[in-house]
Amino acid sequence: MSAASTTATRSRRQFLTLLGISAAAVSCGTATATGGGSGRPGGQVTTLKYQGSVGAVTLPELAADLGYLGNLKLEWVGNTISGPQDIQSAATGQIHFGGAFNGAIVKLASSKAPITSVISYYGVDQDAYSGYYVLEDSPIRSARDLLGKKVGMNTLGAHSQALLDIYLSRNGISKAESAKVEALVVPPVNTEQVLRQKQIEVGVLGGVLRDKALAAGGIRPLFSDYELLGKFSAGSYVMTKQFVKQNPDTVRTFVTGVGKAIEWSRTTPREEVIARQTEIVKKRGRNEDTATLQYWRSYGVAGQYGRIEDKEFQLWLDWLGERGEIKAGQLKAADLYTNEFNGQGKG
């Protein structure tokens, strides 16, 4: 078996493992998320367990450092490998909140996972976007040129694959034809190298990894998610419905703090945001490289204070329905999120 075939097989297995969550697994794993050992004066959790990201500062981490979470504490339990893995951990009670692409949240909710989205945490704008890059001398110039080619992305069934499907569809590629485009899982830190070594024909790059690759030269964009859909919030933090019901004050404090951190990052000079992020990473002492933070530009959240809108889920409900991954009418956008705990940014 070739290295590419082995990678493809492993990628599919990872995808099935991450998203193949049974109702039984969800129902039996809520011990951490609903109580026990997290500090509950007044009956509500006061310490939230979560997963971070290597060399990056999440919005909750920023909110905590800015003092926006009040007496609410964060407990880092490790780093996530992907959005689907993060929300699976939240749904099964290993952590109190997790974040992922909204389409992955729809997929998880369709498996009867009792979760709800409470605030947007990342999105797409002119600064925060993912590009689909090819080598400068690549013959790939159009959607049809992708047939039979390999596209490397961080995980399957999530943001990058969804945008690839939308790009193909909008450019006249039928569902049967699009199956000839092979999506492969490639760790983001390796995507540029794998692309330059011609192990894949297209690599999805965003943020610092995109900017570093462009600075090195020799690659060009085929398209980007910003070009396709404009500015939009793409991912949300989820909690279990039971946790939200039992800890409304905690949830309100969390959502309010994260919302304030979003607006602080928008209105504060970029250099100051980067300096704050660098200080946070250094203080937490995880032996991380802070050099990449210099490329930070935006969290990309569209809604003021991270408030969520129906359209941010409806797009992916339609996409998954077209793919046959959920039944038509099985879920409604309004049932997947709540702005009840986000009193900011109204009007």
Contact 313, 107 (CB under 8 A): no
In the block, residue with structure tokens 């409900």: 317
Distances in Å between the Cα of 21 and the Cα atoms of 88, 106, 224 are 8, 13, 30
pLDDT at 345: 61
Sign of the CA dihedral 156, 300, 146, 212?
negative
In the chain the domains, ranked by start, together with CATH numbers, are: 3-123+232-335 (3.40.190.10), 130-229 (3.40.190.10)
Give average pLDDT by consecutive 10-residue segment, the chain, 347 residues.
44 42 39 47 88 94 98 96 90 96 94 96 94 98 98 88 93 95 94 98 92 94 95 96 97 98 98 97 92 89 96 92 85 96 75
pLDDT at 8: 43
pLDDT for the residue numbered 346: 63
Name, in order, each residue with C-beta under 8 angstroms of 247's C-beta and a sequence gap of 6 or more.
44, 45
In this prediction, residue 231 carries a pLDDT of 94
pTM equals 0.82
Q: What is the pLDDT of residue 329?
A: 82
